[in-house]
Structure 1
């Protein structure tokens, strides 16, 4: 029973994971809050596109009314006010559709342009997050390597002190040499403490860049990883860097969206063609007498002209 309990405790504390730079970049590109927020904005744009397309569909309204009137009422047969107790039931159905409204089509185009801008913002956020991770990753690796160098030097000086003490015992060296070496050891130990603090701070910054709370990951260098060799002095490289930059594409998409907004404002000067279909039926009955039944159907297509008070701002 004790053995099983011990194994259970071991399973609660898994071994520390080791991440390379590639794994850090993959995790940050998918899980950083800035990236998730940009992804949500794209989903919001998808819903806006669907809503804009929905404006092309007809709208349908229906209603039912049931009421009683006691006392003085209008007699539907003689159209005179009499002392009557009546029951009134009505069913109404109405459909409206904009047969032509150029603004609706422009809104669809604007929603698509906004989605393109949000997509470029997502790539821009991913690039910013990756750049921050790369900087903090190499800062941590540099701090860790410097700490390892100091530990190696301290271990070497400690061995040197042991050898010197033996040489002092046999009289081949003076005791002051030990003091000089120990002074150097103290200086290295101070540097080691400072380097350890810098390494810990660099790891905290890296964890923050990855948006990871628990310190359960060891970040290591992958010897197989290599940087892509590029000629940074060529004109083609500079042009490609600008044209493929998500920040540049975001600005271009936003400019197109603003131009589309101007077109939407201009569309208010265009006429709109709307269609309307109404159907209603009602049942009116004087309590204690025969019922009256009426039904009305209307189909209407109307052309709405623009208002002269509409201002255009360019």
Structure 2
């Protein structure tokens, strides 16, 4: 392909692509991913389930009411104690019972209600942990794609110089001012840069697909997507406090829930005070005894009414060794949850300290790497002039050109790692960008 046509093609295609580009920020990736994530949707249902299991202690005082009605027949005979004679006991029997009871004081129910309320908070905290760990995965993948994207820009910018030098060498070889060996060297380097751009483009597109698959986004055309760098200030914070870490919050709520479990079990050993009310009435009539006269159904139901009301205090005396062992096991579980919360706190603090150290390291390297890049730029400019005037060959020029490219890569990598570490610190300490 004619090199001028290649340049025109590259610029034309780049203009066309830029017209279709869709910019994606890190926050936009987070929003789309969190909205599409299946694990988060499942955990949201778990939160709803936990809310349904929770009942306010006042609602526990709503009476439980039961109505029992039965119709039965008794067949056979029995001994009349007045006459000591056997008489028929074939009786038709109708009975109605209405019972209501309410627990006025039940320590076990109170502890269960408090524990169920904490279960709702625990489900919410678990959802936040899922989101938090998911965001850390997205963050890593986002900056991986961002590095490939910015690296590709550097390669394409360098490729313009390769096109220019190759055209110039071809002309100089044609007029005899340059040997063909220089042309072969430049053609070889040109071919290598073309291959490197192709490989980088393929890797870039592949990584973008991975990112959008991680977000469960199958609608967006990733070929038109460009990622926005997440710029942060070059500050060196040393006093960073952990104000909101989901894993630490979950561990603390889990510890509180374990303590409530002990309270629930202990409640079974405490007195229970309840109030009750009962109402009953019945109707009975002998079967196949026309000589016996009984009151009618309505009269018997009215006359046989019976009411009962009162208070009941139940004091457990001995609940068995098994129950005591369950309480002891719950205490051990509570102590375990306490140490787990402490361990999580230590791990997060250590993570933050390591990230702060890395951030400071990247900040310190930044100036030196930029100085190296400035020197590489000067070397390249000098080498370019020498190459055009024939004072240096293509091999030396290509070596210096690659040194400048590596220097650009190092500055890019250090800048992106600084950004990545800054965002990680924000997620670890505040769970936000």
Aligned pairs (5 A) from 1:8-27: 18-27=23-32
Match of 2:312 among 287, 293, 302: 302
Alpha-carbon distance in structure 2 between the residues aligned to 1:135 and 1:45: 33
In the alignment, the residues of structure 2 paired with residue 110 and residue 47 of structure 1 have an alpha-carbon distance, to the nearest angstrom, of 13
2:89 and 2:286 in contact (8 A); partners too: no
Q: Which residue of 2 aligns with 1:267?
A: 267
Runs of at least 5 residues in structure 2 that lack an aligned partner in the other structure:
1-19, 332-433
Q: Counterpart of 1:274 in 2: which secondary structure?
A: strand
Per mean C-alpha deviation after superposition, the further-off stretch among 115-124 and 298-307 is 115-124
| SS of residue paired to 1:247 | helix
Q: Is the 8 A contact 1:16 1:216 kept in 2?
A: no
Residue in 2 that maps onto 1:82: 88
**Structure 1 gap segments, 5+ residues each:** 1-14
**Counterparts in 2 of 1:36 and 1:104: CA distance versus 1, 3 Å:** same
Q: CA deviation at 1:196?
A: 2.5
User: Does residue 283 of structure 1 match 2:283?
Assistant: yes
- Give the number of the structure whose residues are more often helix, by fraction: 2
- 2:133 equivalent to 1:133: no
Q: Distance in 1 between matches of 2:86 and 2:188?
A: 119
Provide the residue aligned with 2:221 in structure 1: 216
Q: State the alpha-carbon separation in 1 of the partners of residues 202 and 167 from structure 2.
A: 28
Equivalent positions of 1:57-206 (< 5 A) are: 57-68=62-73, 72=76, 81-82=87-88, 84=90, 87-206=92-211
Question: What is the SS of the residue equivalent to 2:70?
Answer: strand
The alpha-carbon deviation at position 133 of structure 1 amounts to: 1.7
Residues 49-93 of structure 1: CA deviation (Å, up to 9, x unaligned): 227664332212223323456x647799x9965274x54333322
Q: Residues 198-255 of structure 1: CA distance to partner in whole angstroms, max 9, x if unpaired? A: 21332133113322234425543447x6436764312xx2xx21x4322222222211
CA deviations 1:140-192 (Å, max 9, x no partner) are 11112222332343454344333433333333333332221121122223322
**Are the counterparts in 2 of residues 17 and 216 from structure 1 also a CA contact under 8 Å?**
no
**Residue 136 to residue 53, structure 1, CA distance change in 2 (3 Å):** farther
In the aligned structure 2, how far is the partner of 1:232 from the partner of 1:178?
A: 53
Report the TM-score when normalising by structure 1. 0.78
In the alignment, what sits opposite 1:6?
Answer: none
3-state DSSP class of the match of 1:88?
strand
Is the Cα–Cα contact under 8 Å of residues 63 and 92 in structure 1 kept in the other structure?
yes
Give 3-state SS (helix, strand or coil) of 2:237's partner.
coil
- TM-score, with structure 2 as normaliser: 0.58
Higher normalized contact order (CA 8 Å, seq sep 6+, divided by chain length): 1
Q: Secondary structure at the match of 2:150?
A: helix
Distance 1:306 1:248, change over 3 A: same
Q: In the alignment, is the contact (CA less than 8 A) between 1:129 and 1:209 conserved in 2?
A: no
Partner of 2:357: none
**Structure-2 separation of matches of 1:227 and 1:123:** 25
Distance 2:98 2:78 in 1: 25
In terms of fraction of residues, the more strand-rich structure is 1
The answer to whether the Cα contact below 8 Å between 1:275 and 1:301 also exists between their aligned partners in 2 is yes
Paired residue secondary structure (2:172): helix
Computed over aligned residues only, the root mean square deviation of the Cα atoms, in angstroms, reads 3.2
CA contact (8 A) 1:143 1:199 kept: yes
Distance in 2, matches of 1:297 and 1:75, equals 30
- CA displacement at 1:109 relative to structure 2: 1.7
Distance 1:248 1:181, change over 3 A: same
Give the secondary structure class of the aligned counterpart of 1:299: strand
The more displaced of 124-133 and 211-220 is 211-220
**Residue 23 of structure 2 contacts residue 228 of structure 2 at CA under 8 Å; is this kept in 1?**
no
